[in-house]
Amino acid sequence: MSFINYSSREINCKIVYYGPGLCGKTTNLQYVYAKTNPDAKGKMISLATETERTLFFDFLPLSLGEIRGFKTRFHLYTVPGQVFYDASRKLILKGVDGVVFVADSQMERMEANLESIENLRVNLAEQGYDLDRIPYVVQYNKRDLPNAVTVDELRSSLNPRSVPEYSAVAPTGVGVFDTLKAIAKLVLTELKKSS
Amino acid sequence: MNSGLVMYEEEFRLITGICDRLTRDANAKVVFLVDKNGQLIASSGQAQNLDTTSLASLTAGNVAAMGGLAKLIGEKEFPNQFHEGERESLHMSIVAGRVVLVVIFDAKSSLGLVRLRVKKAGEELGRVFDVLAKKQAMPGAQSPFAEITDDDIDNLFSE
């Protein structure tokens, strides 16, 4: 849910990276954090287990610049991908303005991708959102792995609605900023439409 | 879709005034007000050295997690929480159902005093947020986005 502050002339929006366990949601944020100018970012917070798996969420505040005198700020969150953390995932979707679904391109993770998208749809609906209506982009991550299925196959299973989609290799940054820009743009366009 | 929070100059002044007063009356180090979704609304006291953005996000995460726990045991929510540290302690309370008032204090204050002052400030804040909600619901309520063009959005992303 966006927060427009006339007093400080700021617009804040919330973007959530969703996807199955180990698909690269945290890696997306880590890359954005590493490559962003220090003036434009806040501290990245990761609430993770001892084995570096996301326990609750990662959080990264980013400034994107000004629109008509208003500073635009985006708060990026990831959810814990592991199936049994569903209660936490629901909480993080509260007040979301846009969702990035990070898919794992590996053949053996196709079922996990499908399960996660269905889980996203259900959890969004519980918060009163419709996955077919909110700003939404899909990222096909891990394109560099030998067991990656083709983008055409991923598209037909995971993106039947043809929302903006990006191929990515998150640790090296391929597709990471394209994905972020696309969702940020959709969120701002949606805010404009609904105003 | 849920409508976002809009803060206007006048209400922001009132809110900051209430937070400043609470900081003094409760002998607190810092007071801040956070939207339940993790956006910082206002802060007061010695907030300069604090990462208030992170504080806001973690506060919201904590309140959301405690709210989830409350529901599991049949409660609506836990409207007040207290966390005691060795030197600093933290008190959180939910105001008007949508914002969280956080007070950080040390041995110069006490939980009893903080609770008492938070109760009063919470009522005052509740009234301001009622006004805000009404303002926002009025037809023709202005949004800075109404005048924004697609080009403005594109320009934000041009390298």
Q: Report the distance separating Cα A195 and Cα B17, nearest Å.
A: 29
- Which chain A residues are Cβ-neighbours of B6 within 8 angstroms? 3-6
Q: Report if residue B137 sits inside a domain.
A: yes
- Superfamily of domain A3-194, CATH level 4: P-loop containing nucleotide triphosphate hydrolases (3.40.50.300)
B100-121 residue pLDDT tens: 999 999 999 999 999 999 999 9
CATH of the domain at B62: 3.30.450.30
How many distinct structural domains can be found in chain B?
Answer: 1
pLDDT at position A13 over 50: yes
- 3-class DSSP state for residue B4? coil
A63-92 residue pLDDT tens: 999 988 899 999 999 999 999 899 999 999
Query: Given the structure tokens 């726990």, which residue do they identify?
Result: B69
A42 closest CB neighbour out of B51, B144, B146: B51
A125 touches chain B (CB under 8 A): no
- 3-class DSSP state for residue B38? coil
Q: Between β-strands A45-48 and B40-45, what pairing exists: parallel, antiparallel or unpaired?
A: unpaired
The whole-chain average pLDDT of chain A stands at: 95
DSSP B75-142: -S---EEEEE-SS-EEEEEEETTTEEEEEEE-TTS-HHHHHHHHHHHHHHHHHHHHHHHHHHHSTT--
Q: What are the sequence ranges of the domains in chain A?
A: 3-194
Q: Report if residue B61 sits inside a domain.
A: yes
Its domain, for residue B20, covers 9-157
- Which chain A residues are Cβ-neighbours of B41 within 8 angstroms? 3, 5
B50-76 residue pLDDT tens: 999 999 999 999 999 999 999 999 999
